[in-house]
Amino acid sequence: QQPVQSPQAVILREGEDAVINCSSSKALYSVHWYRQKHGEAPVFLMILLKGGEQKGHEKISASFNEKKQQSSLYLTASQLSYSGTYFCGTGRETSGSRLTFGEGTQLTVNP
């Protein structure tokens, strides 16, 4: 079942912060975050595993609340290069390496 992402789109000015949420109705083992720029392939940002800690990648970090089956991606002091579509992909213990991706959140950072 496809995870639900919110918001669907967000527009920021350079330097502003944003939060993208991903939730599932099923128990999750892992949450992946990817960024895709227009006309390009998705690029991996980070994985959060069940029982794992919050992770960070430069000014991009994420958390995973196992009990609520939710993950949030935090972008702080956004840069123009952060523009793109962000996807969360969720994995379940019983699904092996199969990921189900959300519909994506389109992030636009303006000067």
Interface ranges with other proteins (CB under 8 A): 2, 29-30, 32, 34, 40-44, 47, 49, 87, 89, 91, 96-104
Rounded least distance, CB 101 to other proteins, Å: 4
Nearest residue to 32 via CA among 94, 102, 83: 102
- Find out whether 62 and 71 touch, Cβ atoms under 8 Å: yes
Nearer to other proteins, 44 or 56 (CB): 44
Rounded least distance, CB 77 to other proteins, Å: 25
The angle subtended at Cα 81 by Cα 78 and Cα 87, nearest 5°, is 85
Nearer to other proteins, 78 or 84 (CB): 84
φ, ψ for residue 84, nearest 5 deg: 155, -175
Rounded least distance, CB 95 to other proteins, Å: 8
The angle subtended at Cα 75 by Cα 29 and Cα 22, nearest 5°, is 35
Rounded least distance, CB 3 to other proteins, Å: 11
Nearer to other proteins, 19 or 46 (CB): 46
- Find out whether 70 and 54 touch, Cβ atoms under 8 Å: no
